[in-house]
A = this chain, B = another copy of it.
Amino acid sequence: MAEHEDWLRTEVGAATPDRITVAGRDLPTEIMGELSLTELAFLLVTRREPSPAERRLVDAVLVSLADHGLTPSALAARLTYTGAPEATQAAIAAGLLGAGSVFLGPAGDTAQFLVEALARHDGVDVSDPAALRPIAEEAVTARRAAGLRVPGLGHPLHRAGDPRVPRLYDIARAEGLLGPHLRLLELVAEVHAEQTGRELPINGAGAGGAAMVEVGVPPGSVRPFVLIARTAGLVAHLAEEAEHPLGVPLWQEVERRSAGGAGAESG
């Protein structure tokens, strides 16, 4: 029909009075009761269902990034709830907004970095570890020459190693999914330590990003994809904040201890 216009085409979902399709499938009969949320999310961004192995690895990545305690993201969500408890969507959004270059964003940055490094060596047999080593060297060297950090390495808290990382590699190995992206990231960490003399172990976001592109998630979708998981963590923080609030006491303590302005004068 002439009125259907290609620039408004979407493959994500559509609704008519009597039908809803998502990812081109009939939502009630082909998705509800058939797919988990993780499977649907995977289907939506890769346009195919994950294998059981892929689903297990993707779920492992998602649960590994869902929560990390009273992080800046969780605190921002809880402090937003303090002011607007009736608008929980705003508190969730506030908690997601800090997923940038410092927190969570590195999952996507690592994904992009690995995909680009491999793309520059298109004909190489990536199943050969000896072939990956020069790719890692070139990628680390180029990054450092440009004055940029190598993404996916180091963590402010888990300095001696991030406990999520060996477990994620174990799961990938057990599922037959320890492919070139995950292996390249290991070599990147090794090369980085050799070049700089400073051990920076792979962090959880980096390993997660590598695993996501390993199973075919486009690198540009990695950052938003892990936000699905972080939303789950934030839901739990808001449930707890409703019962056992820290927003007001935290504010009051910060104000009391703040050295600036009238606080100091009247202290």
Contact = CB atoms under 8 A, between A and B. Distances in A.
A115 interface: no
Contacts of A141: none
Interface string A7-51: 111111111111111111001110111011110110011000000
Contact of A18 (B83, B158, B220): B158
Interface stretch (A121-129, A189-197, A255-263): A255-263
Contact of A63 (B22, B158, B267): B22
B240 A11 contact: yes
Copy count, this protein chain = 4
Given A37-B229, A44-B236, A232-B37, A260 B84 contact: no
A59 to B, nearest CB: 5
Interface string A63-94: 11011111111111001111111111111111
A62 interface: yes
A62 B35 CA distance: 10
A239 B221 contact: yes
Contacts of A239: 44-45, 218, 220-221, 224
Contacts of A13: 66-69, 233, 261
Given A27-B164, A97-B90, A231 B238 contact: no
Contact of A6 (B37, B68, B102, B259): B259
Contact of A79 (B28, B75, B231): B75
A257 B167 contact: no
A225 interface: yes
A246 B258 CA distance: 11
B4 A160 contact: no
Contacts of A64: 27-28, 31-32
A234 interface: yes
Contacts of A82: 72, 98, 102-103
Contact of A32 (B70, B83, B164): B164
20 contacts: A8-B70, A8-B258, A8-B260, A14-B262, A14-B263, A16-B157, A23-B236, A29-B167, A44-B67, A45-B235, A70-B258, A76-B80, A80-B97, A83-B102, A85-B101, A88-B108, A94-B94, A94-B98, A96-B96, A224-B239
A185 interface: no
